[in-house]
């Protein structure tokens, strides 16, 4: 009984934190004065010993509120080139400078949190069932089935919205300009794989547009060798009206992931229906 209470409290706390991050992500990023800073230098610091993430020390300058030139240093997991312009938020009172998240980055952050929330609830349901079977205190069948329906519907909703968004992007591709791109770097963060953590690599692509070299930071990452292969060729699609760029290969991978979510969700939903109607006992 105490074990179930502990699991319940843990799940509630984690879900509450994820919901808080989901709805309030980026709100703190709106504080302070919006400034465009110019990169003076970008140097890689020693990797953090805890998670081996590469950190860059970026030196920038920008105009203060009185027109004076201010020079600040900020840390970033992204490598920049001298002359790059970064949209930031500057806290006048504290002197704190932080990169501002774009609407696309905010959307990606919220989507990642939502996906993690769904996966977390799914695996916690499995843990509860296994724990109950090992202790002889199985959960009521109705509870298990409701949990299964909930998870399957969430997976299918994510899949439907993801595929819809992916199809809209494909429709826009006809009006976009295809440019050669190359992977020049990658960012690293930790991901969970079974019972251990692995390094997840998100590629950084470089391409030329309007006579300038641009960089595109991919939201698609994996521990596979392909995602950390420097020099890998890709196709960059640029909207000539807005200058917004996407990687054609990444969009294809994202479509496959959304389809996989839908297949898993549909499979679980069919299984729950079979259990509900007594087809499977």
- Residue in 74, 65, 78 with CA at minimum distance from that of residue 98: 74
Does residue 236 register a pLDDT over 90? yes
In the predicted structure, residue 62 carries a pLDDT above the cut 90 = yes
- Whether 51 shows a pLDDT value over 60: the answer reads no
pLDDT (0 to 100) of residue 232: 93
Residue 132: which of 19, 252, 4 has the closest Cα?
4
Strand 33-44 to strand 85-91: parallel, antiparallel, or no bridges (unpaired)?
antiparallel
pLDDT of residue 25: 45
Query: In angstroms, rounded to a whole number, what is the distance separating the alpha carbons of residues 46 and 268?
Result: 45
Contact 39, 85 (CB under 8 A): yes
Percentage, residues of the chain above pLDDT 90 = 16
Q: What is the pLDDT of residues 170-179, one digit of tens each?
A: 888 888 999 9
CA 60 – CA 38 distance, rounded (Å):
5
231 pLDDT more than 90: yes
CA neighbours within 13 Å on the CB side: how many for 96? Answer: 9
Confidence grade of residue 38 (pLDDT, cut at 50, 70, 90): very high
32: closest CA among 93, 121, 120? 93
Provide the pLDDT for residue 74.
87
Q: Which of 272, 269, 264, 268 is nearest to 115 (CA)?
A: 264
Which of 155-159, 160-164, 180-184, 238-242 holds the top average pLDDT?
Answer: 180-184
More confident residue, 53 or 274: 274
What percent of the chain lies above the pLDDT cut of 70? Answer: 67
Cβ within 8 Å of residue 194, ≥6 positions away: none
pLDDT at 60 over 50: yes
The reported pLDDT for the residue numbered 91 is 81
- Rg of the chain over CA atoms, in angstroms? 23
pLDDT of residue 31: 61
| Backbone φ, ψ for residue 6 (5° rounding) | -65, -45
Q: pLDDT tier at 205 (50, 70, 90 boundaries)?
A: very high
Give the least confident one: 97-101, 122-126, 164-168, 216-220.
Answer: 122-126
Q: Span 36-57, mean pLDDT?
A: 74
Residue 88, pLDDT above cutoff 70: yes
Indicate the range of 98-102, 130-134, 261-265, 269-273 predicted with least confidence: 130-134
Is a pLDDT exceeding 70 seen at residue 76? yes
The pLDDT score that the predictor gives to residue 145 is 74
Q: What string of DSSP letters covers the chain?
A: -HHHHHHHHHHHHHHHHHHHHHHHTTSGGGSSEEEEEEEEEEEE-PPPTTT----EEEEEEEE-TTS-EEEEEEEESS---TT-EEEEEEETTTTEEEEPPPHHHHHHHHHHHHHHHHHHHHHHHHHHHHHHHHHT-PPPHHHHHHHHHHHHHHHHHHHHHHHHHHHHHHHHGGGSEEEEEEEEEEEEEEEEETTEEEEEEEEEEEEEETTEEEEEE-S--BSSGGGG-TT-EEEEEE-TTT--EEEHHHHHHHHHHHHHHHHHHHHHHHHHHHHHTTS--
Residue 230 has pLDDT above 50, yes or no: yes
| 21-32 residue pLDDT tens | 544 444 445 567
């Amino acid at each position: 009984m105490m074990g179930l209470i502990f699991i319940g409290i843990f799940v509630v706390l984690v879900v509450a934190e994820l919901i808080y991050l989901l709805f309030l992500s980026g709100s703190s990023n709106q504080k302070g004065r919006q400034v465009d800073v110019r990169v003076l230098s970008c140097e890689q610091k020693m990797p953090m010993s805890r998670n081996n993430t590469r950190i860059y020390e970026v030196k920038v300058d920008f105009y203060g509120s009185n027109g004076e030139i201010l020079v600040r240093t900020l840390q970033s997991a992204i490598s920049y080139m001298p002359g790059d312009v970064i949209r930031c938020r500057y806290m006048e009172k504290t002197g704190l400078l932080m990169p501002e998240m774009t609407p696309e980055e905010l959307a990606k952050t919220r989507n990642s949190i939502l996906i993690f929330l769904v996966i977390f609830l799914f695996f916690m349901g499995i843990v509860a069932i296994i724990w109950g079977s090992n202790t002889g205190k199985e959960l009521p069948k109705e509870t298990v089935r409701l949990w299964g329906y909930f998870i399957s519907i969430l997976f299918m909703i994510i899949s439907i919205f993801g595929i819809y968004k992916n199809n809209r992007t494909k429709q826009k591709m006809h009006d976009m300009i295809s440019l050669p791109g190359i992977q020049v770097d990658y960012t690293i963060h930790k991901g969970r794989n079974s019972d251990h953590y692995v390094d997840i690599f998100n590629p950084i692509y470089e391409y030329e547009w309007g006579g300038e070299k641009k960089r595109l930071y991919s939201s698609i990452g994996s521990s596979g060798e392909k995602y950390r292969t420097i020099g890998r060729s890709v196709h960059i699609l640029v909207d000539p009206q807005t200058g917004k760029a996407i990687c054609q290969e990444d969009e294809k991978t994202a479509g496959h992931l959304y389809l996989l979510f839908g297949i898993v969700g549909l499979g679980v939903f069919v299984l729950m229906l079979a259990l509900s109607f007594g087809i499977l006992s």
